[in-house]
Amino acid sequence: MDRRVVGNCERIGGRRLMRGLLPGTVLFLIVGVAFGQQQSVPDAPAPQAQSAPPNAPTPQAQPILGLKGQVTPGKGAGQSEDEMTVDQPAPQVESGTVQEPPAPPPPPDHFQKTPPEIPPPGQGPVTTLHIPVTAVEVPVTVRDKHGTLVGGLPWWRFRVYEDGVRQRIAYFTTDAYPLSIAFVIDATLPSDIMKKVNDSLSAVTGALTPADSVAVITYAATSPQLITNFTAAEGARLPAALAMAKKPGQAMGVPMVDGPMVDGPTVNGLPADPTLEPQIGNAGGFLVLPKDAHPLNDAILFAGEQLASQPRGRRRIIYVISDGRNVRSKATFKEVVQYLLTNNTSVYGTEVGDAALWGIGYLDRMKLPMLQPEDVLPRYALATGGDVYHELSENGIQTSFVHIANSVRTAYTIVYMSHQPTLSQNYHTIDVRVEGIPGLTVDAKAGYYPRASESY
C-alpha cells in the first residue's frame, strides 16, 4: 500500500481516537502534559506506529506562572524593597487550612429604613442630633420661718418634681436677671385708698436698675389702658407715665332714697344719667345704681400680652396694686393663668383697702367649698410663683414694692429638660423642695404648659 495512504489513515485514526475520548479525559491529559507528568488512559487504544499524535508539540515542563524569583511577598512587581510601605501585616495562612468565606449581609432593618450618617474614621462626630424637648425655667424663692430671704444654697439642695417624677436639673444660677415689669394700677379703688396709692408711686423707680424696663397700665370699669409701653426704668418717661396713672378713684356713699336730689341732676326734665332713673313700680323711688365692675382678669391678661413680646433672658413680672376683686371680667381665671404660665410670667402684688385687713383678706384667701371668692390676686401669685403683700399705709405700699423687687432679683433660677410633647397643651405640675434644712418655705410656680418656642 502506498505510504501516503497509510499516513493519512494513521492521521485520520489518531483524530478519531482523540474524538472518542471523554471531555474530562482530554482535560486531564492536557493538564498532565503541562506539568510534565505522564498519564495513562485505561482502556484507551494506543497509537500503532508512534507515541505521539502527528503534528503535536512536544510536551515540556513550564515554571508556575512564569514569575519565579520575580515577586517578593508584600511587594508589588517591579517595586524595590525601599519603596515598600507596610500598613498591616499580611495574614499568615498555614498550609492545609481553608479560608472562611465572608459572612452574609445582615437582614434588612425594617425599623430604620435609612442608614445613619457615619463620619470618616478619625474625624469624630460631624452631625448634631436635635431632640425636641421643653426647657422649663423655674424661678425659686426660699424664705425661713421669719419670712427672710435665704440665699447661698447649693444646687444639690434642691429637688424638682414634674407630675410627681423627679427631674434632672440642667441649669442652675443665682445671678440676677434684668426685669420686665408690667405695672398694673387698679383705678376702681375708693378715693381715700387711691390717694395713698398715688402718693406711693414715686418710690417705684428707686427699686429698679438701669437694666430694667417698665410698662404702666391702669384699669377701671372699662377696658385696660396702656399709659406707656416698656421704657427704661431710670429714664424720664417712666416718672411722667406714673404721674399720668394717678386716678381719683371712686367716691363711696349711700344711695339717697328721698329728698330733692333723689332723682339726681336733670337736663330738660330728664335724668342726666339714665342709670339713676327711679325704678318704675317701686315705692319710695329706689335708684338703679350703676353695675359694679372690677375686671382684674382682663387687666392681668392685657399685661401678660404686653410682656409676651419681651426677649428671652429677662424675668417677666406683673405687679398689681389692687384690692384683688374681680367682677365682670370677660376672661376667666383659668384662661389667664394658662396664658401666663405658657409665657413664663409671674404675678406679684400689693393688696390695699379691705383686702389688706386681716379678717377679710384671710377669708378671701381661704378655699371654701361652694364659694367663689372675689379676691383672686393671691390665687394668681400661687399659680405663677409670685407673692402678695397686704398693706394699709402709704409707707407700707412703698416698702412692699421694694421687697418684691429684691425677692425677684435674688431668686434662684432652675432649668430642667422635660420630654413632654411641646404641642400637647396639657398642664404639668411642678414641685420644688429644699432637702436637709427644716423650716424653709419654697415659692415656685405650681405648674406649666408646654410651649413650642421654648423647645430645643
pLDDT averaged per 10 residues, the chain (length 456): 47 46 43 44 49 54 52 51 48 46 53 52 48 80 91 90 92 90 94 92 87 94 91 91 90 54 61 55 50 88 95 92 91 95 94 74 47 76 93 89 90 88 82 91 92 56
* Cross-strand bridge partners of residue 242: none
> Are the CB atoms for 145 and 429 separated by under 8 Å?
no
In the prediction, which pLDDT does 304 show? Answer: 96
Sheet (strand 213-219) strand order: 225-232, 213-219, 179-186, 315-322, 345-351, 388-390
In the prediction, which pLDDT does 385 show? Answer: 93
Collapsed DSSP state (helix, strand, coil) of residue 381: helix
Contacts of 451 (CB under 8 A, 6+ apart): 134, 342, 343, 422
Closest CA to 85 of 96, 73, 75: 75
Q: Cell 398715688 identifies what position?
A: 198
> Are the CB atoms for 194 and 201 separated by under 8 Å?
no
CA 357 to chain centroid, in Å, comes to: 43
> What's the longest Cα–Cα distance across the chain?
174
Residue 192 backbone class (left: φ over 0; alpha: ψ -120 to 50; beta: rest): alpha
Stated pTM of the model: 0.64
Q: What is the DSSP string of 19-53?
A: HHS-HHHHHHHHHHHHTT-----TTPPPPSS-SS-
Closest CA to 279 of 266, 262, 297, 254: 262
The whole-angstrom separation of Cα 6 and Cα 288 is: 152
Exposure string for 106-120, b = 16+ CB within 10 A, e = fewer: eeeeeeeeeeeeeee
In the prediction, which pLDDT does 108 show? Answer: 58
Q: How many CB atoms lie within 10 A of CB 15?
A: 12
Contacts of 303 (CB under 8 A, 6+ apart): 182, 184, 215, 217, 224, 318
In the prediction, which pLDDT does 56 show? Answer: 52
Collapsed DSSP state (helix, strand, coil) of residue 357: coil
Collapsed DSSP state (helix, strand, coil) of residue 5: helix
Q: Cell 460631624 identifies what position?
A: 126
Residue 391 in grid coordinates: 398693706
The whole-angstrom separation of Cα 134 and Cα 420 is: 7
The whole-angstrom separation of Cα 108 and Cα 396 is: 74
In the prediction, which pLDDT does 69 show? Answer: 53
CA distances from 223 to 95, 201, 227, 332 (A): 98, 22, 13, 15
CA 44 to chain centroid, in Å, comes to: 90
Q: Cell 339714665 identifies what position?
A: 274
Q: Cell 505510504 identifies what position?
A: 3
3-state SS of 312-348 is: CCCEEEEEEEECCECECCCCCHHHHHHHHHHCCEEEE
Beta pairing class for 158-162 and 213-219: unpaired
Sign, CA dihedral 156-177-180-240, equals positive
Sign, CA dihedral 105-106-108-114, equals negative
Sign, CA dihedral 108-110-113-119, equals negative
Collapsed DSSP state (helix, strand, coil) of residue 218: strand
DSSP symbol at 104: P
The helices-and-strands tally (H runs, E runs) of the chain is: 9, 16
